Every structure is written in structure tokens, then in C-alpha cells.
Chain A
């Protein structure tokens, strides 16, 4: 490979955080115009590496060579000016502002260089939405969007920059099939225009669809770079984990018991319409649907976070009226929210405190926390879920995205509940850890709990659910049994072709 093909080159890049060596002498190169995948377990150092490129973090030592010259960006501003843009793993949107403005934040269309040209901005935003083939109102406030739509806005924002190098850190973690296909279309389009794309994902199958080469990091160290065409998934996984990982979905058969949760005609004007379903003990109910189909809203309504306009909820046969999460918890219901940073974690607190949060009342004695018990429970969770953290006392804000997600999961796994509502539970979690989590879910079922799982990852929902509910525009379009469920069947329902697959109840 000739030097002039290379656009970005890492030479012995090292990054040290207090107590953590996040990157250890990483050296590799990225070629002009390629789509380069970057993979590795949670905490391997992927996000850190890209943040060093874009000037969010400063490297401890080593060299980043961009376009043949060593660069050292001190702020994202400098990186952007040099044509390097990124979609970060966590959202970087401004909730109170509109979609259009968020897309062009930092590079507003202007007249005379300082007057904002609103018309042009909305027009261009609308064009981007069309290009992405999604239905998002460019005048809506970002705070009113679900996670997936926010992700789409992030993508639009990155596209609007006309960057030479575009970095995407897990852009598809919450996207459903249709949106993912849209994204791939765009990546190919960009590639055609000569843009270099660095693509980070834990969904390895995606790499085969769009990427040319793949680089693997493990524990902050460079493992290797391969042509995607010449390497099998198993081999990538082996490079990532350092050992063989065999079964992908460790699903065991369950015996469904009595009914534990029944929802009848649940309605929330404008969001949910006449939703009815029931789940039995020992079951996993999957909920599938497109972006914005109302799945999150459904879980929130059950959990007492949003007021409902009509409908009834029964827990173990008794009608309940839930107005707050505490009431839900008292009825044995737990919700794992979809946005870990804003809803799942107290970032300022340690891993220990976060894991303990829902447990404190049961781990205390006359109001005093029993720290020994708490530490034991938390330690147990960290080991079970393989949470990578220098210590239990590390603040969760310093964990990698996937490890943060594991803490959110662990928080609820540690507490004994009858009904778990999981919203995108494995978002951002690496392959190896996912299997651990599926094992844990199985354990919960064995323990006699019930799981309702919203997921945009079709293989996961297909493999883990006993039954699958498909939603569209706030309505239940149909229910599929394990036998009926296929990728095609779900997509048909989710896209609105009810007649073919709907089951008469």
C-alpha cells in the first residue's frame, strides 16, 4: 500500500486515563475512500481512539498522521475544519432545538455570514430527510423524538458536514432494519464520492455489508487488520475475544405458567391506540416495530411514567393503577430505559452506587445502607456481566458505552422482579457479552420472572422471544408465535401489510 493512499495513520498511539490504559501503542492505517470497520469488545478503546482523532481527548503519546502530516487537534472545531466529522456513540443533540437546527448546528446557513437563513436550513434539512428516506418533521423539537429518530438526526448532521473522513461510532445500535438499510445506502453513496468512513459496530454481520477492511482492538491494543472478504465472523470474534465463542443465542425452552401481566385497550392519544396483550410467567414477549412505532411509549405507559387516557392493566389478575415508577416497582415491574446516559445511569456516581440504586431499601437496616452486602451484590454483578471497570468505585461516566449499558442491565438483574420491561437491552454490547446477557435472561425466566423485550435487532428478537408483538404507528399489528416468526413476517407487519400475517385472536 502506497503512502499516498493512506488518509489517516496511527503510530504508537497511547492514551492513559487515571487508573486505565485505554490505548496501548496502537498503530495502523486507514486508506483514502475505504469503509474501515473498527471492532473490539466493550472497553477495547474504539471510542477513545476516534475521540483522539477529533480532538475531544488528547493522546498521551504517539502520533496521528492525517493526509501525510502529523496532526494534534485540540478541539472538535479544528478537526471539523480539517474535514473530519464524527457521529459519537452518545447523542450530541440539543433537546430544546429543532431537528433542522440540530442538523446544521455549528455550520448554520447564513446570510452576510451572521444572519441565520432559516428557510434554507429547513429546506436543506428536509432534503436530507428525504435522502435518508425517513419521516421526521424538521421543525419538531429533538427532545420529543425517540432514540432511533435521534440517531437518524445524528446521521443527517454528520452528512450535512461534507466531511472527507466520517467516523460513525455505533450508528445502528438502535436502528431497525429499514433505517439500517437506508444508512448503508448512504455509506455506499459517500464511498462513491471518495469519502473515507470509519465504522464502529458490534453487529458484525453489518461489516460484511458495507466495509472493506476491518481492524480489531483488544484491551487497548491493536490486534490486526484484515480484508473483510478474507475473514470469517468467527475469526473476527476470536481476534476480539481471544478465544472461541460458540453458540450465539442460548435460548432454552420454557414452560409458560399463569398470566402475570395483561394490558387491555391501552390508549394514549396520539401515541398508543387500543393496545391489548398478555404475558405469562416464564415467557419472553418480544416487541418489534419500526422507528417511532410506539414501543418505548408502551413500556413507559405501563411503568407509570406517562399518563394513559384509557385502558386497563392487570398484574397477576388484579387490576392496577400505576402512577409512578415506585408503584410499578412495588407491583414487581422493572423498566430498563432505552437511553442509558439520560435515563439509566447517574453518571456522577460509581458503578457500585448505580448498581445498588434500586436495591437500597432491601440492602439497608433502619435506613442505614449495609455497605458489605451492597458491595457483595455489586461485585457479583460486575463479574457476571463482565463489566470492565478499574474498580467498583469508578464513576460510570468514565466507562465505555457498552459497559455503561451493562451497569444499567445489572441494576435490574440484581433486583428480583416479576416483570422486566427491557427497552433495547443489548444496545452497544459486544458479541461475547451479549451471550452472557442472554444467559442471564434465561436465568431470570427460570427464576419465575417474565420479560417483555423491545428490540430493534431482529435476530435477537427472533431468537429470544416466545411470542412477538409487532407494532406500527402506535397500534399492535399482529402477534407471531415462535414458529410463525421470521424476519420477513415481522417486516411485513411492521411496514403495514397486516392482512397477510395477522393472526385472528
Chain B
């Protein structure tokens, strides 16, 4: 039959996590066959993302796979898609639940839950170390104001706050490796004892590990380090024993599931059974490395 054109709009290509997601979509498309994917990134800019979707509508795509930059701000674009009768599936991040718009399906992980998982892991490790949950934890948060940064931090702190003997020191490192390193260097100067570090993405924790290794004050092995996103590089460090854990949100599985749902709807008119498919974020450690989606 005729080739199907599907639009993929996602926040930014500068983060490897999204390029895995994009790749997964493209692989799935190749596997299903007869599909053109138009993938456009929005340079992390909400109004650009809306423009991109408008442009996709003008171009006449048949369906849209959307990774929203912000849960709320993208709603006008979804409204426009609804108006143009173009089905949309959201991936990774869900638009606000009570919004008066139609979304065919949402496939995603829960950043807040990921943050909670990271916190639980750290609490467990601290308990192993001291016999009780106590110590000093550094939290490297993402770009201030960005959705994932807010959610991951919220989940993380929700759990950690339950343990009064754990001190959390937070600072932003903008989801960047160089900032992660720099901020960690400053923490190393100002903090006599560091027991654990949580980076709200792997980039930041990788930078922090560089700083710890170079410090001479702390040994990376003695510090509990947890990242987020399960990038190949992080997995490799887990294998080597430098990094303790990372949170896997399965971008490939999310993307290919969502894409399959969308194509099925377009080709066969079949709506998905569930309108929300959540994939449980998983803590990846040395013990369950094989459960990680990406290889290294």
C-alpha cells in the first residue's frame, strides 16, 4: 500500500537518551516496513515544539509520536492534532491528565518513581554501610524548571526526607557532564564527608565520578553513586564497579511499543486495549546488568 508518514517530535538531540529513542523508532519503522518517519527535535524549546507539530500537520503526517518537553505547554499542539484528526501517542512523558484533549495512548515511564527508586537504593546502601540510614547525600539536579528535573528530584526527596539522619545537599548541574564535574568539585571542597551521590541523569553522575576520581580526598568505590537513564557508558562503569547504579526507563521499549500502537491504529483501525501503558523504571546494578536495554 501507500507509504505511511509518521511524525516524531522530541525535545532535543543533544541528549543521548533521545537519540536511543529515535533510533528505536526508526528500527521499528524499518521492521514494520512502508513507513516514513519524520523526526524533528525542538532544541528543548516549548514553542518550537508546537511550531514543529503545526508544521507536521501542514505537511500532512498521518500520525504523531510525541515526547512532550512540558506536560502542559504542549497541549495546544495536541488540540491542533485533534482538530486535524491526526492520532497522537505520547511517549515517556505524559501530558496533564485532565487536559481536554484526546491522546490515543500513552506509553511511558514515571520519572517521579525513578527518583524514588534511586532514593530507596541509596537508603538501602547507607543502611548496609552504617547499620542505619544516615550520612550525607549529594543530589545533582537537572536544568532548573525542566519537567524531568522537577519530577526526579521530587521523587528522590519524597523518600529521602523520611530519614532524618540523612542530610541531602542539592545543587543543579543542568543535566550536563561538565557541570556535574564542576559542581562535584565544589562539593568535594565544602563537604568533609560524602556518602552518596545521586545524579538526575547519567551525564551528571559521570562528571561527578571524574571529579571524585581526581580529588584524592574520596575514593569513588567508597561513595555510593547513582545515575539515571542507563546510558551505555554508565552501564560500562557499573560493570567496572565505579558506578553503583542507574535508573533504566527503557526508551527503546517505550518507543517501539508506542510506535506499534500508532501504526496498528493507522493501518488496522485497532485502538489499544489500555490507554496508558506504564513501564516500571528499574534500578540497574552490577547484579542485573543484563536487564538493561542498551548494550555497551
Touch test A–B (CB under 8 Å)? no
Task: Please give the residue numbers on chain A whose beta carbons come within 8 Å of chain B beta carbons, in ascending order.
Answer: none
